[in-house]
Each structure stands twice: as structure tokens, then as C-alpha cells.
Amino acid sequence: MHRSEKSFKRLIATIKSFKSAFETQNFKHFKKVKIMTKNPVISGFGLFLVTMLAFFVVYYFSANAQYWSTTMRVNAFGMTFLYAFAGFASTYWLRLGRYITYPHAFKQCFLTLFTGGLLSVFSIFAFLNYVDTDARDLLNHQYIQTELDNLDRSYTKLRGEALNQKDKNKVKELEQNYRGAKLAREAAMKENRNYFSFKFMSGIFGGFLFFYLLLSIVIAGFLKNKKRYE
């Protein structure tokens, strides 16, 4: 009985030591994961996944006569909100439990947005130019048609105002500008100009970078909780 009791106690002690080692290792792993989730590149990759999900939802459910207008509405409202929220959330998460200076907050926000935006823009470029070129052609056509429709509406309105003012020179100048703009858009439609080429997409991403910069400046100024030289 005495030996059995000692063996039992040893077994309990061994189990406790294994449990303690496992909990310590598990805590280290949890701490490592927690630190990794504050990495702006990882946050940016998550933002990229959500962006592509939105892109394919529009692609599968709205690739019709309203494809271009739906895409523009999603970009103007949905993506603006998503990227503002992602930049804020990533920086706020970094701030939890610690003090961060303005440069730290700015870096966290900007890298999150930059990573998500860069991966998204070039993934969309690759998809439209190498996977489904029909979707690209549909977007190009609808974009030019939208430009023509806007041009006609603007011309009709301005011409009516010029006729009311009885200004013949203004009417003549307006007609010349209208014809030139319309011919340029019709030529772009005939030659199937690609507005999703690498050159155009790079220009679009340049505009996004300016947006990311402004957003990062505002969010970093709002969330910093420590002066740089404290």
C-alpha cells in the first residue's frame, strides 16, 4: 500500500509538471499570436481578403448593364468606409495596453492600408486582364458610355443657358468643345481602349496612396496617446 501510494503521488506530480509546461508553452504561443495580429502587414492582408470578397460579390451578382455604376458606388461608399475602419481598427488595436507616438500610429495605419490596397489593385488587374477579359471589356464599354451620356447631358444644359443669353460666340465654342470631346470618346470605344491596363491601374493606385496618406494623418493624430519625446 505504501509503495502504491508513493507511485500514485509521483504520477500526480508528473502530470502536474506536464500541465505546467503545457500552460507555459501555450501562453507563449498566445502571446506570440497576439503580437503577430498587431503587425500592420497581417492586418493589411486581412483587408485585402475583405476587399477581394467585395469585388467578387459585385462580379458575380452585378455583372450586367449596371456593372460599372455598381462598381463605382461600392468604391465610393463601401470601400471608403472599409479602409477608414480598417486603418482605425488596426491602429486602435496597437494602442491597447500601451502608449504609442504619432509616428508609430501613422506607420501602423499607413502600412495596413498600403498592404491591403496594393494587393487588391494588382489582384484585380491580374484577374481582369488574364482571367476574365470579358468583364474588363464590359467595364471599359460602360465607362465610356457613361462618359458620353454625361457629356450629352452637360452639353444640353449649357447650350440651353447660352441660347437664353443669346451669346452666339459661346454657343459656337460650346459646340466645338462638345464635338471634340465626343469624337475622342467614340474613338476610345472603337479602339477598345483598356482602362484597366498596368499604366491606368498604377495611376489609380497613386490616387489611392494619397487617400491612404490623408487617412493615416487624421487617424494617427486622433489615436496617438504619447508625445514623441516623452
pTM of the predicted protein model = 0.79
107, three cell numbers: 506607420
Give the number of other CB atoms < 10 A from CB of residue 44: 24
Q: DSSP alpha helices (H): ranges in 127-167?
A: 133-164
Query: Half-sphere exposure (CA, 13 Å, Cβ side) for 73?
Result: 7
146, three cell numbers: 457613361
What was the pLDDT predicted at 26? 46
Give the number of other CB atoms < 10 A from CB of residue 36: 10
Q: In the predicted model, what is the mean pLDDT of residues 12-27?
A: 48
Q: List the Cα angle 65/81/143 in 5-degree steps.
A: 25
Residues 40 and 25: their CA atoms lie apart, in Å, by 25
Answer whether 65's CB lies under 8 Å from 146's CB.
no
Residue 9 has pLDDT above 80, yes or no: no
Answer whether 191's CB lies under 8 Å from 89's CB.
no
pLDDT tens, 170-213? 778 888 888 898 898 888 888 888 999 999 999 999 999 999 99
- Stronger pLDDT, 43 or 163, i.e. the higher one: 43
Q: Give the containing element (helix H, strand E) for 8.
A: helix 2-37
- Stronger pLDDT, 140 or 9, i.e. the higher one: 140
What was the pLDDT predicted at 210? 96
Residues 227 and 221: their CA atoms lie apart, in Å, by 11
Tell me the three state secondary structure of residue 222: helix
Domain spans in the chain, listed from the N-terminal domain onward: 1-37, 39-223
